[in-house]
A and B are shown apart, each in its own frame.
Chain A
Amino acid sequence: APPAIAQGNTVWRMQTHWPTGNWYYDEVFVRFCNRITEATGGELTVEPHAPESIVPTGEVLNAVRRGLLESAFIYPAYWIGRVPAAGHLNGHIGAWDRHEEMDIFYYEMGGIEPIREAYAEQGVHQVGPISYSGLTLWANRPLRTAADLQGWPVRSTGAAGLVLARMGASPVSIPGGELYQALQTGVVDGAHWGSTATAWGMNFQEVCDFIIEPDLLGHLNGEVMVGTQAWNAVGEDIRAVVTEITRATSAEAAAHFLYRDIQFKQRFVEEFGGELVRLDDDALAQLRTASMAVVDEFSAQDPQYSGRLGEMLHDFMRQLGRS
């Protein structure tokens, strides 16, 4: 391809799903965009765009594929209906406990390869994960053993919902706008909504008595993606800058979110009279087994990409002595 960089200023509009007005919108997302713009001396300008400002969140992958939007800073779980491998990018229950473990799977063991191939098939370049902290489980009953999960009505969706169903819980789908009230009146007895910090914005602390520890998934990922066309239109040096800043931002974000989670959990106990309850080791082991069974289901449906990733994940679990 001809070196498009000679033309000078390229602009990527980058849409996120993070709501404006949240601390992380500015401190993580906008800062990420600005860092790229500054590091390239404006040769590549990345414009931060609020959720739904160009296309609805669910249609971002489609828009990036068609080149109607250049890039996105977003959440892989939205695409598991199109790219099942995105579930592995997002993270599976019981798999990674912290940022470094995800980094091992993604970069050391090479999990990034099949994921990038799966995205490439959609006309999208997967730049890399952006670390969040864990997936916090909120509840109105103190869950300590696997038996406590039996028949537990919990608002859940996606792979987490399938795992909880295997544990005997009753996952219920409820739209975000009705979730606060559903927890308040007892339509469901629990829910998860990202990390403690993100659920805080949904005001779960007002309507839940317990946070169940440890997090269902110790570490989960967002992602950065760029349309293949837009990606190929910039020079190698620019691509390297984007890739490196993505990786650096991911490490920073992991610490940011973890620290906030610690603070919010403290506030939950001190200001809201909430209680932190721990699941026992047996329950955790069963969750892990159920999660890997769901992973195997995905592998069977999508052998080309999820199948390879599933094998890698089994290998990872063996190496860490978790299976």
Chain B
Amino acid sequence: MIVLRAIDAFNTAIGKAVSFLIWAGIVVLVWEVVARYVFGAPTLWAHGYTQRIFGAYFVLVGAYTLIRGDHVRVDLLLVNRGPRGRAMLDFINFGFLVLWGAVLSWEAFWFFEDAWRFNERDDSALRHPMWPIKLAMFAGVALITLQGVAEAIRSMILIVNPRADVGRPEMNKGVV
């Protein structure tokens, strides 16, 4: 249980920190508009860094979204279900995530490794390294998979003992 709570805490902290990237994205894009329209001097980097900032943001908020129970589900079967039935459905849900996430993590690692090994740069005039964004991708998919494993374990415990305290405080605010 301590390990599960630690995973929650870790992913929540990462998610909250990453959530501030949106401000960087706003600043970069607004700066580009000002530089181009007011000073007539568009930057070579704004476009490329918008891609990098938002790309990292998209993938790294995945686990946090999961913790907040915001990956939307249809509740046709979820409502009016007892705790054990509910736990079984949750287990299937997280099973799909772990399956997808495990494959993504494995492939994303080699995807990153390739960019690192060949010192890949983007194909725009910017020509900055690609490995950081691909590393962010690996981190994002690995973290959501880790969270998925933690939730799957909790669901398993609940299938066995629906009254167990699995320390899942936020997941139950509303139907996930």
Chain A residues within 8 Å of B, Cβ to Cβ: 58, 62, 65, 77-82, 122, 151, 153, 156-159, 161-162, 165, 170-174, 187
B123 to chain A, nearest CB (A): 5
* B123, A78: Cβ atoms closer than 8 Å: yes
Contact present for A81 and B42 (CB under 8 Å) = no
Within the assembled complex, what's the spacing in Å between the Cα atoms of A65 and B120?
14
Decide: B120 and A170 in contact? CB cutoff 8 A: no
Complex Cα spacing A156 to B126, Å: 12
Find the residue from B36, B44, B46 having the highest chain A CB count within 10 A.
B44
How does the 8 Å CB contact mask read for B110-136 relative to A, with 1 for contact and 0 for none? 010010001111111101001000000
Question: What is the interface of chain B, defined by CB distance below 8 A to chain A?
Answer: 36, 40-42, 44, 46-48, 111, 114, 118-125, 127, 130
- Within 8 Å by CB of B40, from A81, A158, A170, A174, lies A170
Are A171 and B42 within 8 A (Cβ)?
yes
Q: Are A170 and B123 in contact (CB under 8 A)?
A: no
| Neighbouring B residues of A81 by C-beta, 8 Å | 120-123, 127, 130
Q: Which residue of chain A has the shortest Cβ distance to B40 in the bound complex?
A: A151
Selected contact of A165 from candidates B119, B124, B125, CB within 8 Å: B125
Q: How many A-B residue pairs have CB under 8 A?
A: 55
Question: Most A CB atoms within 10 A — which of B46, B119, B124, B125?
Answer: B125
Given contacts A78-B123, A81-B127, A82-B121, 6 further A-B contacts (CB under 8 A): A77-B123, A80-B123, A80-B127, A153-B42, A161-B44, A165-B125
Q: Give, as a whole number of angstroms, the nearest-CB distance from B43 to chain A.
A: 9
Enumerate chain A residues within 8 angstroms of B118, measured Cβ to Cβ: 82, 122
B119, B120, B124, most chain A CB atoms within 10 A: B124
Query: Within 8 Å CB of B42, what residues of A?
Result: 153, 170-172
A58-B123, A81-B121, A158-B123 known; A170-B114 Cβ under 8 A: no
